Amino acid sequence: MGEAHAAETFPSRNVGQIPVLTLEANKAEEQTAKHTDAAGVKCLRAHYPYAVMLRETVTDSQPQSRLERRVAAAAEAMLTRDRSVCPVEVLAAIGWLPASLVDDWRRGRVDHLEAVLSVHPDKLAAALDHLRRWAANQGLTPSEVAYVAATRDRRPLRFTADGDQATERVWRTHWTPPDLPESARARLTQQQSRAPDLVVIEPLNQWTCTGCGGSGSLLLMEAGGPLCMACADLDHLVFLPAGDATLSRRAKKASRLAAVVVRFSRSRKRYERQGILVEEAALEQAEAQCLADEDARARRRERDRQRRADQDVVLETRLAEAVLFLFPGCPAERAEAIARHAAVRGSGRVGRSAAGRALDEQAVMLAVVASVRHQDTGYDELLMSGLAREVAREQVRSDIDRVLATWQHP
């Protein structure tokens, strides 16, 4: 469509400019090509109509630099499409920021965004300035958006190498049309400031947890290295494979803590979504909502079958007895649930360790504490809100102690 439009827009009255414009279009085409991944899927940002770029050049009588025209064209297209313009996406649109590198940055794998930008600092400063002036000329309204990392600590993302506050603010500023109602602007800003999903990786190769030296079928990448689900405090969550959008959406909504599971596809050279991790209760609630349809029933049966296969009934019974011995006030069904969870085959949880199998008091204690932490305190909400694990644990410590005390001395 860009091609056809471009042809229509070429005006005969300004023939002198055509070669330059063609060059510009070719250049953009090249950059578009770079954004096409191995599967031939064009990235979101690759669809900027060159016609906008051309029209701009032809009708504007002000002398403009090539960069200024490219920035204005990208910004204009973005404003039409999203009712909002921001530096990161404009630079992506002009080909300076490939989506995969922006993704690395959002996931906290690079220190700051400028580290992945391969343009000269002067050129970058000029582009940011062109955008700011273009937005001001259009009478757009600036608002600051929070950029948080898709990491467990949800730390603020950095744009610049030196952390200069003024420049950081320029990067964080999004522009919206002045006629946008204030409530809509606030909603948009809130939406854009939301932390991206936590991402858990299904690794292809052997790996070692930097927390405990163990391994597992899933890992969370943190700045210090990969963490197993137990060390990341995500091992109480259950996996829901992708495939049923309604069920996934409901489960994620009901879950206080959730993560997206991805696996790297060697053939497609990108991470692909495998499903989500959610709280078991949330999944059950979502399933109950979906049970009316037969597919959901079949999936439920499959999950029950899998759960039975993973069950170690003997260990479970002994664990439940040990829990009740240490905590006589713990409700029996709760003791069973704690034991069932801790004894799952291949989970690497407390109950599966050598100490747990020998029913070491300390190991049983750990299983009970973990259960109380996740179910009887605000711990999961604190984690989801971005609080560091250690701080969250400190905050819920007295709540855990209170529950344990009533269970110990009913």
What distance in Å separates the CA atoms of residue 231 and residue 209, rounded to the nearest whole number?
8
CB neighbours of 366 closer than 8 A, spacing ≥ 6? 350
- Name the residue nearer to Zn ion (CB basis): 207 or 264: 207
Q: Minimum distance from CB of 216 to Zn ion (Å)?
A: 8
- Name the residue nearer to Zn ion (CB basis): 203 or 241: 203
Q: Minimum distance from CB of 366 to Zn ion (Å)?
A: 14
Q: Minimum distance from CB of 228 to Zn ion (Å)?
A: 3
What distance in Å separates the CA atoms of residue 304 and residue 237, rounded to the nearest whole number?
16
Size, binding site for Zn ion by CB under 5 A:
6
- Name the residue nearer to Zn ion (CB basis): 59 or 208: 208
Provide the token pair at 172.
Answer: 């964080």
- Name the residue nearer to Zn ion (CB basis): 92 or 231: 231
- Strand partners for 237: 279
Q: Minimum distance from CB of 383 to Zn ion (Å)?
A: 16
- Name the residue nearer to Zn ion (CB basis): 95 or 226: 226
Write the CA distances from 8 to 19, 51, 61, 223, integer angstroms: 16, 9, 20, 51
Query: Could you give the string, one character per residue 158-197, with x where binding to Zn ion holds by CB under 5 A and - elsewhere?
Result: ----------------------------------------
Any contact of residue 339 with Zn ion (CB under 5 A)? no
Residue by residue, DSSP assigns 186-250 as HHHHHHHHSPPPPEEE--SS----TTTS---S-EEEETTEEEETTTTT-TTEEEEETT-HHHHHH
CB neighbours of 407 closer than 8 A, spacing ≥ 6? 327, 328, 329, 330, 368
What distance in Å separates the CA atoms of residue 69 and residue 227, rounded to the nearest whole number?
46
Q: Minimum distance from CB of 360 to Zn ion (Å)?
A: 19
Segment contacting Zn ion (CB under 5 A): 46-54, 220-228, 308-316, 381-389? 220-228
**Is-contact 311 352, C-beta < 8 A?**
no
Segment contacting Zn ion (CB under 5 A): 33-41, 77-85, 212-220, 311-319? 212-220
- Name the residue nearer to Zn ion (CB basis): 203 or 211: 211
50-59 helix and 2-9 helix, angle to the nearest 10 degrees: 20
- Among residues 142, 177, 203, 211, the one that binds Zn ion under rule CB under 5 A: 211
Q: Minimum distance from CB of 349 to Zn ion (Å)?
A: 11
Q: Minimum distance from CB of 246 to Zn ion (Å)?
A: 34
- Name the residue nearer to Zn ion (CB basis): 229 or 387: 229
- Among residues 4, 38, 212, 223, the one that binds Zn ion under rule CB under 5 A: 212
Segment contacting Zn ion (CB under 5 A): 201-209, 245-253, 289-297, 314-322? 201-209
- Name the residue nearer to Zn ion (CB basis): 247 or 259: 259
Q: Minimum distance from CB of 280 to Zn ion (Å)?
A: 21
Residues 224-253 that bind Zn ion (CB under 5 A): 228, 231
**Is-contact 156 202, C-beta < 8 A?**
no
- Name the residue nearer to Zn ion (CB basis): 231 or 286: 231
Q: Minimum distance from CB of 348 to Zn ion (Å)?
A: 8
In single-letter form, the type of residue at position 397 comes to R
What distance in Å separates the CA atoms of residue 75 and residue 61, rounded to the nearest whole number?
19
User: To which H or E segment does residue 70 belong?
Assistant: helix 66-82
Any contact of residue 364 with Zn ion (CB under 5 A)? no
- Name the residue nearer to Zn ion (CB basis): 184 or 212: 212
Any contact of residue 209 with Zn ion (CB under 5 A)? yes
SS3 of residue 276 by DSSP: strand
What distance in Å separates the CA atoms of residue 220 and residue 311, rounded to the nearest whole number?
25
- Strand partners for 148: 156
SS3 of residue 118 by DSSP: coil
Using alpha carbons, select from 237, 230, 307, 248 the residue that is nearest to residue 278.
237
Q: Minimum distance from CB of 208 to Zn ion (Å)?
A: 9
Using alpha carbons, select from 249, 233, 238 the residue that is nearest to residue 286.
249
Segment contacting Zn ion (CB under 5 A): 93-101, 107-115, 206-214, 346-354? 206-214
- Residue ranges binding Zn ion (CB under 5 A): 209, 211-212, 214, 228, 231
